[in-house]
Every structure is written in C-alpha cells, then in structure tokens.
Chain A
Amino acid sequence: MEYLLFIATDTEPEPSDTDVTPIEDWVAEGERRGIRKQGDRLRPPADATCVRVRKGELLVTDGPFTESKEWIAGYDLIECADLDEAIDYASRHPMAHFGRIEIRPIDRDDD
C-alpha cells in the first residue's frame, strides 16, 4: 500500500519530548527499509499560490488565506505492507512530537 504523509504543524504543540529521532536518521531508515520513496519540506503558506478556473476564467490568488495555525510543512510518499507499518514509521518522524502526521492512502481503486 502507498501512503502520502502530510507533515503538519499543530495548533498547540505538546512540550517537546527528549527522545526524538533526527530527521536524517528517519529518512535513512525509510530508505534502508525501502519504505520511503520520496518527500521534502515545503515553504510556508505565505509562499503559496492558489489556482482556480471558473467558467473558463483563470483565477490566481495569494494564499490559501487561513487563520489556522495548522499548515502542511512537508510530505513523504511511502510504501508499506499495511497501515500498522505506516503508523509505526510515521510515529518516529520528529514532527510527530511537535506537530502531527496525517496518513492518507493513495487511491488505487480501479472502479
């Protein structure tokens, strides 16, 4: 199963844990185990651009405008045997301690 991990900030991060895996080690583990296929950090929402097409007209805006303090700071595409393996790997990402990781299965439905 393929999953996209959204690495997100959290509104109220917990006090930082002491035992946090450095991101380099996390990436190295994912590559060694053949779990992590790709991924990167993202620039903050201030650098984002939104594109919409409505009735044939292109609408480009700055943003997304959001009051939320939660935003996506990075992503990783991983391949795991099942959700438990994905949860286990995601739980060791440093941002799991300060933010949150959203695990979204890639939709491989034929129908």
Chain B
Amino acid sequence: MTGRSDATDVADAIAAAHRSDWGKIVAGLIRRTGDWSVAEDATQDAFAAAVVRWPVDGIPDRPAAWLTTTARNRAIDRLRAATRQRSAVQELIMELEPTEPHEIDDDRLRLIFTCCHPALSLPARVALTLRTVAGLPVAEIARAFLVPETTMAQRLVRARSKIDHAGIPYRVPSSDALAERLNGVLAVVYLAFNAGYSDSAYADIAVTAISLAEAVVELMPRESEARGLLALTLIQGSRRTARLGPAGELLTLEEQDRSLWDRTDIARAGMILAAAQGRGPYVVQALIAQCHATAESAATTDWSRIVALYDELLALSPTPVVALNRAIAVGMLDGPDAGLAILDDVSTQLPGLHLVPAAQADLLRRAGRIPEAIARYRAAIDLAPTEAERSQLQRRITDLGR
C-alpha cells in the first residue's frame, strides 16, 4: 500500500483497473463457479469495495491482485449464502488458488467466445460481451442500443439463462469451427463499435469496442482478420473529433479538417496492419481506410489503389453495399460518368436505400449537372432513416444555392 492517495489518483487507478482487469476477473470466476451472475456480481462488489477502501488505505501495489482476491472472497460469500452444500464451497475455496498468466488468457478467450456463441441472438451477444467481458454498465449499453434499461437487463438475464440451460460450453471452439466462430466474435465487436460511433457523442462503447478488438489481437495474434478489425476501428475512431461540424452535423471525409485526425491512432493501425499475414474483408477494409487516412486531401487520395482494394473486397464479400462504395471510388478515379454508369446497375440491387441516390447526387454534382443532383438529393432525403442524415443531405442542396 502507498498510504492515503489523492482522490484523482484513486479514480484513475480504479478506471484503469476496470479497463484492464474486469474481463479477466469475471472470466476466471465463471470458470471456477460456473455461475455467471455470481461472477459478475462479485466482481462488481470488488470494484465497489475499491471505491471505499483505496481512498483510505491507499492504492494497492498490485491492484489487479487486490481486486481478484476481493472478488473471489465475495464470490465465496455469495455462494455460501446461496447453497447449503458446504462441501461444494470448500472444494471451491481449494480451487480458488492464484492462476498462471496463460490460464488468465485462456479464461478471457473462453469468455469472449461464449458471449459471442451463435446460439444466442445477435443483440444478446453484443449486450453480453459489453457487459460481461468489458464491464460496461447496463444503463449505458441500453442507451447505445436505444432500449429501456429494464429491457436490456432482461435481455442479459435471458442470455445467461440460455447459456446455463442450453448447455452452451465455456470453451474456445475446436480448430475446425474456429475461423467461423472468430468471424462471429469480430462481427459482435464491430457492431458494438458502430453503435458507439454512430452516436454523435462518440460513446464509451466505441472506445470499449476498440479495447475488445485489442484483446482479441493480443489473445490471437496470428489471426489477421482480428488485426484488420482493430486497425479499421482505430482509423475510424481517429476521426472522432473531425467528423462533426459546428452544429453537430456529420461531415464527409472530404469536408473534414484532416489536421484533427488522431495521427497516433492512424500510425498504430498501420503497424497492426503491417503484421497481418492474410487479406480477409476486415484487412482490406482497413487498408482502404488507411489509404484515406494517409492522404492529405480528397483530391490527392490514391483513388486507383482504393478502386483496386474495392475490387479485392468485392471478390471477398460480393455485396451490393461494397459495389456501391466501389462505384463512388470509380467516380473519383475515372470521372463522375464512369461512377454513375456502375451505380445504375447497383441501384436495382439496393431499392429503397438512401445511400444510392445520395451517391448519384454527389457524382451528378461533380459533373456539374446541378438540377439532376438536387432531384437525387431530394430522393435520398425521402429515404434517409435518421434526422442526422436528412439534415446532411439537405445541407448539400443548400450548398448548391437552391
């Protein structure tokens, strides 16, 4: 112990421990107790105890060890209160000896794969991962997914109940299922990131999602797609302060002040990508994002490289949305008419999606076909799902002087 500590130091130490140790402590307790609720509640207890004890006793020399021991003791108390089988508890106490570092890593991986098990609904997987692995408060997760807190709490209860009753194993999948299951984990992390990132406040969830991606890379360093996802989220996150205009409106890459992009994040993403051995969809998307991130302006962007990367991405995941983004890039490389020709084809595959008329409008504007551009912006406004997007499109019309 370091003696009485400054309130700010204590708050920082608890926040840091929460970021780095929550998932590890919960993961270890779940393996030992098999009880998700006890594991989570006991970990919560330990952090609550730190809030009370650390300002008085000082920050422990090894905060993680202090929290792990406290959480373990609280878990034993909770199990003792819940069970009459004293011997089971005794056994547990014997098993609750300090663990080796590699065991802690194994526990974290087990926890991540179990939370992202495909037998759980996708919203349940995302909620469970953010709550159990990352320790985010239920209220905050509920806010990000626009549901009442009680609904989110019920979703978590049902998910834990299914893990228990359906026999979802607490285990890293076997090697033949690993690739597919890892893709599922990455999809959950990316969905969490986007939920945080689409929020104009750049919610903690986006930061949490990036640290989840970091954890997956740390635990499975040879998986290139995990690296791709981490790099992609880092680069997208690097624009967090640049992507909003003075009125809080969303700005396009072209409109953003690039001096506000976080160069540290972009450089880190570059190093992470450089170590990726394969080229799956996340790696290629990250390379596209990197191409934008390292260009000085939209005009000096290496559009031929971006089109080539979109060709590669389209071969890996042939979806109309990828085709749409490729068409926009072709419009930047070969001129608006080339992009518009491809969009004609894409538009039939994406009826009702506002992004298609919006992209057509942008290209028509570049081609100087202003009345047609305005008509397409209006069509996009009619289809746009959110107010932020509608006002962004409306602003384009205003900028054209109409």
Contacts and interface: CB of A to CB of B under 8 A. Distances in A.
A90 to B, nearest CB: 12
Nearest to A88: B177
Interface in B66-85: none
A83 interface: yes
A107 B165 CA distance: 8
The residue in A83, A86, A103 that gathers the most chain B C-beta atoms within 10 A of its C-beta is A83
Interface stretch (B2-10, B18-26, B167-175, B262-270): B167-175
A87 interface: yes
Interface size class of B (residues with CB under 8 A): 10 to 19
The residue in B119, B166, B173, B174 that gathers the most chain A C-beta atoms within 10 A of its C-beta is B166
A84 B159 CA distance: 16
A103 B119 CA distance: 10
Interface in A70-105: 80-84, 86-87, 103, 105
A87 B119 contact: yes
A84 B171 contact: yes
Contacts of B171: 82, 84
Contacts of A87: 119
Contacts of A1: 167
B169 A105 contact: no
Interface residues of A, number: 13
B170 to A, nearest CB: 9
Interface string A1-28: 1010000000000000000000000000
B121 to A, nearest CB: 15
A57 interface: no
A98 to B, nearest CB: 21
Contacts of B169: 81-84
A87 B169 CA distance: 12
Nearest to A2: B167
A37 B204 CA distance: 50
A107 B162 CA distance: 12
A107 B166 CA distance: 9
Contacts of A105: 165-167
Contacts of B177: 84
A3 B119 CA distance: 14
Contacts of A109: 165
Nearest to B173: A84
A82 B165 contact: no
A104 to B, nearest CB: 9
A101 to B, nearest CB: 13
Contacts of B173: 84
Nearest to A84: B169
Contacts of A81: 167, 169
Interface string B354-378: 0000000000000000000000000
A84 B114 CA distance: 11
Contacts of B119: 83, 87
Contacts of B117: 83
Interface in B166-195: 166-169, 171, 173-174, 177
A44 B117 CA distance: 34
Contacts of B174: 84
Interface in B116-173: 117, 119, 165-169, 171, 173
Contacts of B165: 105, 107, 109
The residue in A80, A84, A87 that gathers the most chain B C-beta atoms within 10 A of its C-beta is A84
Contacts of A84: 168-169, 171, 173-174, 177
Interface string B91-126: 000000000000000000000000001010000000
Nearest to A103: B166
Interface string B213-228: 0000000000000000
Contacts of A107: 165
Nearest to A104: B166
A111 to B, nearest CB: 12
Nearest to B168: A83
B5 to A, nearest CB: 45
Contacts of A82: 167-169, 171
Nearest 9 A/B pairs, CB to CB? A82-B169, A1-B167, A82-B167, A83-B167, A83-B168, A105-B166, A84-B169, A83-B166, A105-B165
Given A83-B168, A83-B169, A84-B173, 5 more contacts: A80-B167, A86-B167, A105-B165, A105-B167, A107-B165
27 contacts: A3-B167, A80-B167, A81-B167, A81-B169, A82-B167, A82-B168, A82-B169, A82-B171, A83-B117, A83-B119, A83-B166, A83-B167, A83-B168, A83-B169, A84-B168, A84-B169, A84-B171, A84-B173, A84-B174, A84-B177, A86-B167, A87-B119, A103-B166, A105-B165, A105-B166, A105-B167, A107-B165
